[in-house]
Structures are given as C-alpha cells and as structure tokens.
Structure 1
Amino acid sequence: MKKEATKYTIRMLAIFAFYTVSVIGINLLPADDMAPWMRIALSLIPVIPAIVMIFVILEFVRAMDEVQQRIITESCLVSLVVVGLASFSYGFLEGAIDVPPISMIWVFPALIGTAGIAQIFVRMRYR
C-alpha cells in the first residue's frame, strides 16, 4: 500500500499544482476584453484537474483493503447527507429571511472537507 500511497501523493500534488496555476492564471487575464464564450471556456479550466482528481482518488481507493474502502464509502455518504441537508436548509432560509447568499463554488470543497472529518469518526467505529 505504501507504493500506491506514494504514487497517489505525487499525482495529487501535480493536480493541485495545475489547479493552482489555472486559478491564478484565469484571474490574471483581462476578462472584460474577451468574448463571453472565451470567458466561459477559461473559467472552466480549473474543473479539469478536479475531474482528473476523481479518477486518481478512485484508483487509490480501489487499491485499499475492504475495511478501508468501507470507511471511505461511509465517510462520503455522511458528507453527502450533511452537506446536502445543510445546503438544502440554507436554500429555504435564503427564501425566508435575509441571509447572505453562498456561492455554489463552496459545495465541492465542503463535501471533501466534511468527508475528511467524518472519516475520523467512522474510523473510530471500526477499532
């Protein structure tokens, strides 16, 4: 598993580097001078490393043993429910009272972060 973990880390660092460069790069470009289709295309460039990241994560999880796979799966399900219910509830609050809007860009990081936190608690169940 150590070999797979090293390979995973190297790939993820490369993906994060591409993501960082792409986000910084698109924010440095003068968007006002571009055609709308060009702004759309450029704004979606950071999604490419996110898609690649999914495949790298899947490959790494498939290399794990069954117990670790189950922990990951349960953590992701907990994250899905927590973030899903939070965003669902917040959507109703936005319609009922004056709360600041939250950008959709935060949903994916919230899912990942919540899955990481949930993994701590799910792992305790299997000890």
Structure 2
Amino acid sequence: MLLAMMGYTAVLFASITVLRGDMIGADWLRILVAISPVFPALYGLHAMIVFIRSMDEFNRAVIAEATMISAGAVAFISFAYAFAQQATDLLPEITLIWVLPAIIGGQGIAACFVRGRYR
C-alpha cells in the first residue's frame, strides 16, 4: 500500500505539472494524463484486497458490512443533495472527486460502530 500511495502521489504531482504547463494540445491525451493517478491507486486497491483476504471471517464481515453502510449512505446523501441542489441556487455544486474519499471515510466510521455492536 505504501508503494501504491507513493506512486499515486508522484503521478498526481507529475500530471498536475504537465496539465498546468499546457504542454499537451490533444484533448484525449489531456484526459489520459488527468486520469493517470488512478493507475497506481488501482495497485492500492489490489493491496487492500490481498490484506482483506488474509483476515479471518469476522473481520471480513465487519469490513463488508461497514463498506455497504458507507456506500449506501453516500449514495442516498448524494441523491438527496442533488434533489435539493436542483430546487435552489443556495447549495454549491459538489464534484465527483469527493465520492471515493466519502466512501472510504464513511467506511472507517461505520466499521467502528459495526465492530462495537459485536462487543
């Protein structure tokens, strides 16, 4: 995971530098550079899967339940927010870049509650 996050950080800064430098003219190439940090992050996903597979059944069940709670909460909160945002100009637009951090953060919080329920 450490290697994946170091790679992600390096590719992120490199892609931002390239995109801000306006070195690329073709839109399809700019898109490829913009999404390039996702590739080392996929290695991080692989590391998480390997780690979860090494856990016992109880911990896997806690992680699975917490992830489902988090994904459901983020989905329904964003669904409700979108309806509210369409109804008024008071709410700011929230970009999709916040979905993954919200799910991961929510999973961590939900895992505390799920694990505490079994104590």
Q: Scaled by the length of structure 1, what TM-score is found?
A: 0.86
* 1:71 and 1:122 in contact (8 A); partners too: yes
Q: 31-40 vs 115-124, which deviates more?
A: 31-40
Aligned 1:69-88 pairs, distance under 5 A: 69-88=60-79
| Count of aligned positions | 116
* 2:62 and 2:115 in contact (8 A); partners too: yes
Q: Which whole-Å deviations, capped at 9, do the CAs of 1:44-88 have from their partners, x for residues lacking one? A: 101112222222111111110010000000100110111111111
1:40 to 31, 41, 44: 31
* 1:31 and 1:39 in contact (8 A); partners too: no
Task: Give the superposed CA RMSD.
Answer: 1.2
Structure 2: 5+ residue stretches without partners: none
Q: Which whole-Å deviations, capped at 9, do the CAs of 1:103-126 have from their partners, x for residues lacking one? A: 101101110111011111111011
Distance 1:110 1:126 in 2: 25
Q: Percent identity?
A: 39
Structure 1: 5+ residue stretches without partners: 1-11
2:10 to 10, 21, 31: 21
Instruction: Report the counterpart of residue 96 of structure 2 in structure 1.
Output: 104
Instruction: Report the counterpart of residue 58 of structure 1 in structure 2.
Output: 49
Q: Scaled by the length of structure 2, what TM-score is found?
A: 0.91
* 2:24 and 2:30 in contact (8 A); partners too: no
Distance 2:10 2:68 in 1: 31
Post-superposition shift, 1:32?
Answer: 6.3
